[in-house]
Structures are given as C-alpha cells and as structure tokens.
Amino acid sequence: MRIPTRRVLADDVYEQIRALIMSDGMAPGARVNIDELARRLDVSPTPVREALARLESEELVSRLPLRGYSVTDLLNRKQVADLYALRLLLEPPSAALAALNMTPESAQQIEDELATCPAAPADNAYDDYKNLTAHDQRLHELILRIAGNDAVLQSFIKTHCHLHLFRLNFQQPFGVQTITEHRAIVDALIAGDPEAASAAMTAHLEIARARLLDRM
C-alpha cells in the first residue's frame, strides 16, 4: 500500500472540503468547526487548516478575527448582475481581438478544449457538473489568452466567477445550451470574424445571465 505524502493528503483534504462547499454539504454562511471537520474527514486539523487558507483565497470561506472561518454566502442578484456586467465589458471585445489573432495553433488549442467536453452531462452529478464548469472556465480563459491582454485576463481570473456561478447553478441543468453557444463562439473565432465572435460571446453571456437571474 502506498503511503500518501503530506502534499497528496493536503490536496485531497482541500478537494473534499471544496466539494462539500460546492455541493452545499456545507451551507452558505455556516461556521466552520475545524476539529469537527477533521473528524469527519478522518484527518488531523493541520491539513484542514491548510485547505481553509487555500479556500479563503478563492473566496469560498472567509475568516473573521477571533471567530474563525465561515462558508461565504452565495452571490445575491446584484452581485450576479455586476459580475455579468463586468464579463460583458471584458469578454466580447476580447473575443473580437482573439478572432483577429487566431493562428492555426490557437485554432487547434481551442478545438482541443471543446473536445474535452463534447456533450453536456446527462444528469447533474457533482463530478459531471464540475467537469463542465472547469471546461467552461478553461475555454473562456483561453479566448482571453488568445486576445493577448494580460491585465484583462488577470481581472477575469480574480473574479473567481466560475466558482461562484457553479455554486448558484449546481443541480440546475444548463449544459446543452452552453455547448451549443460555445460552438457558435468558436466557429466565429476560427472564421476570423471579429464581429461575429463578439456577438456570439455577448449572446452567450446574456443568455447565461438571464438564465441565472430568472431563478433567483
């Protein structure tokens, strides 16, 4: 039997706590009891503390002086609207730039990314949903990378928008439309058509925003 290294254990504990938060196994706003969580995961408190520090940098938990950690709240309507407003400022012009910057290599990269998620998950099992969200995040970041403005890319990454949207969307199917909308964006990029790429990105973000706000 392989004895897990300290790093593997720390990563594993981090993933388990993250999954609990993302799938509402730890409710938004709940206080985090480190000893209880360590017992639940059958580990010592040390890797739990390490995991919480990482999760704090992703804004999934927050720490208050003398009160310890609590799970962050879900985004409210205004925060969701603000987040999509920011994305609409950043991503459609970036898609237009990316369309102008496309090379055979970047076209291949983007097709390879689409191929990682050829179909929407049939049900809303946590792992399927996590994979779809991870693919969505990689695709949007790849388009920003091809556009080539690092300040825009870093601003996007700092919003942690996929994490927050994942928590709101979990168990609410959206995969099929997402895959279709991504195809339209990628077709415009590969055609080297900046207007069509910008329009497809705008449509994708506006539909996603409406889908989410309708349910809140």
Q: Interface residues with Zn ion (CB under 5 A)?
A: 136
Tell the smallest beta-carbon distance from residue 42 to Zn ion (Å): 37
Compare residues 35 and 112 and give the one whose CB is closer to Zn ion.
112
Tell the smallest beta-carbon distance from residue 109 to Zn ion (Å): 16
Compare residues 97 and 136 and give the one whose CB is closer to Zn ion.
136
Which residue number is nearest to Zn ion in terms of Cβ? Answer: 136
Tell the smallest beta-carbon distance from residue 96 to Zn ion (Å): 16
Query: What is the C-alpha to C-alpha distance for residues 52 and 49, in angstroms, rounded to an integer?
Result: 5
Compare residues 52 and 209 and give the one whose CB is closer to Zn ion.
209
Tell the smallest beta-carbon distance from residue 82 to Zn ion (Å): 18
Compare residues 48 and 99 and give the one whose CB is closer to Zn ion.
99
Long-range interactions of 173-177: CB distance < 8 A, separation 24+: 173/120, 173/124, 174/208, 174/211, 175/120, 175/121, 175/132, 176/120, 177/207, 177/211
Query: What is the C-alpha to C-alpha distance for residues 8 and 90, in angstroms, rounded to an integer?
Result: 36
Query: What is the C-alpha to C-alpha distance for residues 178 and 204, in angstroms, rounded to an integer?
Result: 8
Query: What is the C-alpha to C-alpha distance for residues 183 and 177, in angstroms, rounded to an integer?
Result: 10
Compare residues 47 and 175 and give the one whose CB is closer to Zn ion.
175
Tell the smallest beta-carbon distance from residue 183 to Zn ion (Å): 11
